Amino acid sequence: MMARLLARVCCPKALPQAPRCPPESVAARAWSHGPLTAYMPEAIAFPGPKDHQGLYKVSVEQGDTFWGALGRSRLTWITPFHSVQDCDLRQGRVSWFLGGQLNVAAPDKVALIWEKDEPGEEVRVTYRELLELTCRLGNTLKRQGVKRGDRVTIYMPPCPLAVASMLACARIGAVHAVVFAGFSAESLADRIRDAQSETVITVNQGLRGGKVIELKKTVEQAVKQCPGVKRVLVSMRTDSKVPLTALDVPLEEEMMKEDACCEPAAMDSEDMLFLLYTSGSTGKPKGLVHSQAGYLLFAALTHKYVFDYQDRDIFGCVADIGWITGHTYVVYGPLCNGGTTVLFESTPVHPNPGRYWETVERLKINQFYGAPTAIRLLLRYGDEWVKKYDRSSLKVLGSVGEPINKEAWEWYFRVVGETRCPVVDTWWQTGFFFTGDGVYRTSEGYYQLTGRLDDIINISGHRLGTAEVEDVVNHHVAVAESAVIGYPHEIKGEGVYTFVVLKKDSGYTEETLAAELRELISKKIAKYAAPEYVQVTHRLPKTRSGKIMRRVLRKIVEDKASELGDLTTLDDHEAVQQIIEGRKRLVEGQKSC
């Protein structure tokens, strides 16, 4: 059904001496090609700067002038803004483009490329066609009772209707909350309830890595826990029919009934555009609010200038739309710039480890943006899978979601980019505040971030709060207490190591408990959150006040038992020694399997 609708609408952690990027930045290299105003026309508003460094100085010293000119030029305003910003970071007040009204829309221009799960079956959607999809879907939402300010949860794989769902919400003034289509029913339900969504949009099934994923069934289980949900709009990604419940609405059928014109709502610059959930250290998902104008301008500018995006380029960000990278560099950034963006539905190794590079060759991708986890995975398969395909179209490479290690960076730059493509790897946050990140300073004076030192684990770019996992583990009938620690993983960046204290006479073996906990965590959170190691211990190391000494556990898990540091507050030194011996036994046992 999705295909038929499209056919109708479309007409027939890092090391101290990690390498530096090439000394000439992407932006600086691009500016060397001609006059400053040729690369950034808005620069005519800034008298004085003649190069990249001069323009950068203006952006820092005359921020209102810089961002005001770019905001007026890059965004289309229904009502012009009267003030560029009103920001006081000490008070947490951040407002941009005050008084302005706009809507997220794009002119009738280039295309989306939907790179489906099976290679060679891509679908191209022009801006006009995407606009029609968006308007029909927006009118469908309005007919279903969705109003300005309402929250709409989207649980879909990367596909044109998922993008249209996001844009349709933005067009009518609703707030979208996209949930990664790999989360369990429990995790989805948590996010639906927190967002107070009355509407959910999903598909009957997803396809990923050659496997069928029953997304509709997951939604059905989730909405049973969400009495506030009034409707579920179901798109047909595959031809497999699914039974519809009283809440279900066949999305394509309803869209066909609607007009292809939907007037965009005029949104204030600080109105909410979308909610996106991230893991927090308390275990409860945090819904982060992104507003209209400031986010859109940043997305557009970073997409264009960080990646040196030019007209007619093909931008290939392989992130899922369920994450902020997918929102910004698959959807909003490229579309704000009238660019061509790739929606990647599959995995890096389906049907073989050359999938990324075959896609680059076939689609002529110019900018490739991926995660270090995937780069580390593909590195293990050797250079031949890369060199098999023509990558001459590539101009810029990007790394996102987690720190990239030296070996992966060098392979990415040397083999994939043939030493001619700069690697963009950005930390993003600005300002002065305590972040909890570790950092090295190299002998050359460069600072290199190694990742979070708090209770957040970054698994293949997915942020996961340890408290969230511990909450699930502690619900097991045999578990009295637990502690979850992240540890370095050569492929995923970080893995999950779980320490468990059993209830008296539980009768569970370590192997049986590990299997049940992995299944439970996969169901309650997601498969990627399942622990690689589950170690049963008699006691956890605690201070005399009863607090778990997580830094001690982290050192043990990282095989740094000789660096435990000050243990004067530890109430039971024998417990630490038992844990060290238990870890050695567990790790060696898994290696021998």
pLDDT tens digits along 465-475:
887 888 889 88
Tell me if 44 is assigned to some domain: no
CA dist., res. 336 & res. 309, Å (int):
12
Query: Residue 554 sits in a domain of what CATH number?
Result: 3.30.300.30
Tell me if 549 is assigned to some domain: yes
Token pair, residue 427, equals 């930390």
Whose CA is closest to 114, among 276, 275, 2? 2
pLDDT number for residue 204? 96
Kindly write down the DSSP assignment for every residue of 219-268, as one continuous string. HHHHHTT-TT--EEEEE-SSS------TTEEEHHHHHHTS-S--PPP-EE
CA dist., res. 50 & res. 37, Å (int):
9
Tell me if 159 is assigned to some domain: no
Rounded to 5 degrees, what are φ and ψ at 79? -125, 120
Tell me if 453 is assigned to some domain: no
Token pair, residue 382, equals 């050797």
pLDDT tens digits along 2-26:
555 554 444 333 323 333 444 344 4
Q: What is the pTM of this model?
A: 0.71
Q: Mean per-residue pLDDT for 218-241?
A: 96
pLDDT tens digits along 247-264:
999 999 999 999 999 999
Residue 430 exposure: Cα atoms within 13 Å on the Cβ side:
2
CA distances from 320 to 141, 159, 180, 344 (A): 24, 10, 7, 7
Range of the domain at 566: 458-591
Contact status, residue 398 vs residue 425, Cβ threshold 8 Å: yes
396 — pLDDT class (breaks 50, 70, 90): very high
Tell me if 492 is assigned to some domain: yes
CB atoms inside a 10 Å sphere around CB 16:
12
Tell me if 535 is assigned to some domain: yes
CA dist., res. 364 & res. 360, Å (int):
5
Question: Between 35 and 313, whose confidence is greater?
Answer: 313
Tell me if 547 is assigned to some domain: yes
CB atoms inside a 10 Å sphere around CB 12:
4
Contact status, residue 397 vs residue 360, Cβ threshold 8 Å: no
pLDDT number for residue 470? 86
pLDDT above 70 for 174: yes
Contact status, residue 169 vs residue 175, Cβ threshold 8 Å: yes
pLDDT tens digits along 492-531:
889 999 999 888 788 899 999 999 999 999 999 999 999 9
CA dist., res. 202 & res. 128, Å (int):
23
pLDDT number for residue 518? 96
The SS3 assignment for 144 reads coil
Chain CA centroid to CA 577, Å: 39
CA distances from 178 to 162, 293, 327, 354 (A): 9, 19, 9, 29
% of the chain exceeding 90 in pLDDT? 52
Tell me if 548 is assigned to some domain: yes
38 — pLDDT class (breaks 50, 70, 90): low
pLDDT above 60 for 106: no
Residue 256 exposure: Cα atoms within 13 Å on the Cβ side:
13
Q: Mean per-residue pLDDT for 414-435?
A: 77
Rounded to 5 degrees, what are φ and ψ at 559? 60, 40
CA dist., res. 358 & res. 71, Å (int):
38
Identify the DSSP state of 91. G
CA dist., res. 591 & res. 532, Å (int):
12
pLDDT number for residue 467? 77
Total number of domains in the chain? 1
CA torsion, ordered 35, 37, 40, 41, to nearest 10 deg: -160
CB atoms inside a 10 Å sphere around CB 507:
8
The full length of the chain comes to 593
pLDDT number for residue 535? 96
Lowest-pLDDT choice from 39-43, 305-309, 407-411: 39-43
Chain CA centroid to CA 497, Å: 23
Block residue for tokens 């029609």: 132
CA dist., res. 338 & res. 315, Å (int):
11
pLDDT number for residue 20? 40
Block residue for tokens 């207490």: 481
Whose CA is closest to 309, among 424, 162, 158? 424
Residues 6+ apart with CB under 8 A from 92: none
SS (H, E, C) 426-448: CCCCCCCCCCCEEEEECCCCCEE
Paired residues of 115 in beta bridges:
344
Question: Between 551 and 177, whose confidence is greater?
Answer: 177
Which range scores top for mean pLDDT: 103-107, 228-232, 404-408, 520-524?
A: 228-232
> Angle at CA 377, nearest 5°, toward 390 and 314?
40
Strands 533-536 and 493-502 turn out to be parallel
pLDDT tens digits along 203-213:
999 999 999 99
